[in-house]
Amino acid sequence: MPGFLHEALRDLFLENPPLAARILAERLHVPVPHFTEARTVNADLSQVVPVEFRADGVVLLEHGRPVFAIVLEVQLDERQRKRFVWPAYAGVVFAKYECPVCVLVFAPDAQVAAWAREPVELGPGNVFRAVVVGPDAVPKVVDPEEAKAFLGVALLSVLTWGHEEGAEAIAEATRVQLAPDPRRAVRG
């Protein structure tokens, strides 16, 4: 059963579909095609056969038709089974939407991120590599204006660096963006 951190990270991407594309392009320098819409689609990747594949999320970038798909996975620990299912996720989504696809793994722990970056040998000449967002790709957002401009990245910063030294400044920069405006407070 996924815990709070897993669900918070997953929901952050699902509630803000362009965030996955932004992280890929700006933080990991992965070429992302021009798109006019980013939306979440059903992440159930099950097949007619009795094997169930369910990613944490799928973001589909479109420009009149699908141009790029991002399979979202939050990985908080090393689970060897994932090395077998991530290539399947990519293959199913590639076949379903007929466009390029990547599996974007968010791993806030550096050791888990390093593990997730390891290539998966599928067979002779076939290698799968997930695109991994580890702590090295998440900035420490301490400027409230930066947090306001890129709230999704600021929330990733809090979830990634919230237990490290300087966490108070990171949390405060984001908190002021989430706090209700006191001028709109309801008075009784």
Domain at 58, CATH number: 3.40.1350
Average pLDDT for consecutive 10-residue bins of the chain (188 residues)?
Answer: 85 89 89 91 70 85 96 95 94 95 95 97 89 89 83 85 81 76 48
Q: Between the CA of residue 112 and those of 17, 57, 74, 108, what are the distances in Å?
A: 24, 19, 11, 8
State pTM to two decimals. 0.72
User: Domain span at residue 29?
Assistant: 4-137
Q: 71 with 93: CB under 8 angstroms?
A: yes
State the residue for tokens 């970038």: 61
Verify that 177 and 132 share a domain, yes or no. no
State the residue for tokens 């401009």: 149
The total of structural domains in the chain comes to 2
The CB density around residue 89, as the number of other CB atoms within 10 Å, is 25
Verify that 121 and 40 share a domain, yes or no. yes
Q: 45 with 88: CB under 8 angstroms?
A: yes
Verify that 113 and 24 share a domain, yes or no. yes
Verify that 41 and 111 share a domain, yes or no. yes
